[in-house]
Amino acid sequence: MAKRIRWNEMDKSTTPFRKLRAAFVVFNQTTGKSPHTVHWYEFRLELFERWLGPDAVLADVTIPNVRDYIADLQGRTQIHVNNRMVRNKEGALSTSYISGFARALRAFASWLHADGYTSDNLLRTLKPPKIQQKVVEALSDEEVTRLIAVFDRDDAIGARDFTIVWTLLDCGLRASELCGLRIDNTYLDQGYLKVLGKGNKERLVPFGRGCQEALLHWRDRHRPLFVAAESPYVFVNSRGEPLRLDALERIVKRAGRRADIRRLHCHLLRHTFATNFLVKEVGDSLRLQQMLGHTSLEMVRRYVARASVEKSLIDRRDSPMDIVLAKEQPQRRPRRVQSKRMRGLHLVK
């Protein structure tokens, strides 16, 4: 009688990588991860599989292979190579983009171990490359004014795009959250949105009077022209279908070109919201964390630091040398300045 082999005793090293990747996708879907997160992992694992080759198996998931792959990404001189929606262009991949591959593969290795494919976490000691922390320059008030002025609100497309940009600036939503925003989650009379964020977590995000007017204008006057059959989503394309992420990014970038703000992209609008929230003292960092939907204060601390710099640039009294020199120099009596009215009286006299 043949001996029965238990699952944990089987040699699974030759299991095709493609089969494992498909199982990991199912795992992410059935554990409640958002479609965006599921796609995020699947996309990165698929590119790693392509790099390994068509005969990739579980045994190829090793720290040396992952490090070689990261080194290959770091040495590339073109971006958007695997994006069918955007043309390739010269430039290096960002450190945050490359680090995402390491994080995705580490999560994959953790699942392999938890599901019994490996006796140990194969990538447990792998350290993701450090992310270069760049200073993100939020939009100035003048740029915001210039941006919202480029839209024709009497036109259906213009009204939609205006409302999109205003909502991103006023609520700080992620691009995926705006695309997934549903009509029954917009409480326009009460002044807040119910947003489905990362990890399928809902949060309430208030908005101002200007955003309320824009949403009402779009919903009641122009949106019915787009939606032949009833759609549950707030923002739709010309065929009444839910707005896709790539289409949203094109809308924002097109508006940026018209406003002569070449660096504009969706996430910069979220950065601008967070910076203005703190600089203009709309609320504190804890409230900002709740509105942005962050699970930790780490990202909010960066906004706090950035807002502090913004305030120091606005208020030049924070210069230490100006204070030192002011104390050392003898005080002068201020020259009396006549008002326009007094100067006029003097001339008449």
Over the chain (349 residues), the average pLDDT of each successive run of 10 is 68 92 95 86 95 95 96 85 62 88 96 93 91 78 94 95 96 93 94 87 91 95 80 90 92 96 93 85 76 73 66 57 64 50 36
Instruction: DSSP letter for 182, please.
Output: B
| 47 is a domain residue | yes
**175 closest CA partner among 248, 82, 225:** 248
Residues 246 and 281 in one domain: yes
Residues 149 and 51 in one domain: no
Sign of the CA dihedral with 234 first, then 238, 242, and 243 last: negative
Host domain of residue 60: 7-114
Residues 289 and 238 in one domain: yes
**255 closest CA partner among 274, 268, 242:** 268
| 304 is a domain residue | yes
Give DSSP secondary structure letters for 243-267.
PPHHHHHHHHHHHHHHTT-TT--HH
Q: At 192, is the secondary structure helix, strand, or coil?
A: strand
Phi-psi region of 80 (alpha: psi -120 to 50; beta: other; left: phi over 0): left
Residues 152 and 101 in one domain: no
Q: Output the pLDDT for position 11.
A: 82
Counting the structural domains of the chain, the total is 2
Q: Where are the beta strands (DSSP E) in 52-148?
A: 78-79, 89-90
Angle made by CA atoms 200, 204, 206, in degrees to the nearest 5: 145
Q: Output the pLDDT for position 347.
A: 32
| 120 is a domain residue | no
Beta bridge partners of 204: 194
Q: Do 17 and 61 meet the contact criterion of CB atoms below 8 Å apart?
A: yes
Residues 101 and 233 in one domain: no
Q: Do 93 and 73 meet the contact criterion of CB atoms below 8 Å apart?
A: yes
Residues 178 and 101 in one domain: no
10 Å Cβ neighbour count for 277?
20
pTM of the model: 0.71
| 82 is a domain residue | yes
Q: At 233, is the secondary structure helix, strand, or coil?
A: strand
| 320 is a domain residue | no
Cα separation, 221 vs 209, in Å, equals 18
Q: Which CATH number do you get for residue 282?
A: 1.10.443.10
**41 closest CA partner among 55, 49, 54:** 49
From 96, 114, 132, the end of a domain falls on 114
Cα separation, 64 vs 71, in Å, equals 10
| 319 is a domain residue | no
Residues 108 and 53 in one domain: yes
Residues 88 and 227 in one domain: no
Angle made by CA atoms 232, 233, 236, in degrees to the nearest 5: 125
Residues 166 and 109 in one domain: no
Q: Do 188 and 215 meet the contact criterion of CB atoms below 8 Å apart?
A: yes
Give DSSP secondary structure letters for 274-285.
HHHHHHTTSS-H
Residues 297 and 190 in one domain: yes
Amino acid sitting at position 259: A
Using only C-alpha atoms, the chain has a radius of gyration, in whole angstroms, of 27
Residues 184 and 305 in one domain: yes
Q: Output the pLDDT for position 82.
A: 64
Taking CA atoms, 337 is separated from 330, 331, 333, 342, 348, in Å, by 21, 18, 12, 10, 18
Beta bridge partners of 194: 204
Q: Output the pLDDT for position 297.
A: 66
Cα separation, 235 vs 44, in Å, equals 28
Q: Do 281 and 271 meet the contact criterion of CB atoms below 8 Å apart?
A: no
Q: Output the pLDDT for position 78.
A: 77
Cα separation, 29 vs 16, in Å, equals 21
Q: How far apart are the first and last CA of the chain?
A: 125
From 114, 133, 152, the end of a domain falls on 114
| 332 is a domain residue | no
Residues 65 and 108 in one domain: yes
Q: Output the pLDDT for position 342.
A: 38
Beta bridge partners of 187: 192
| 228 is a domain residue | yes
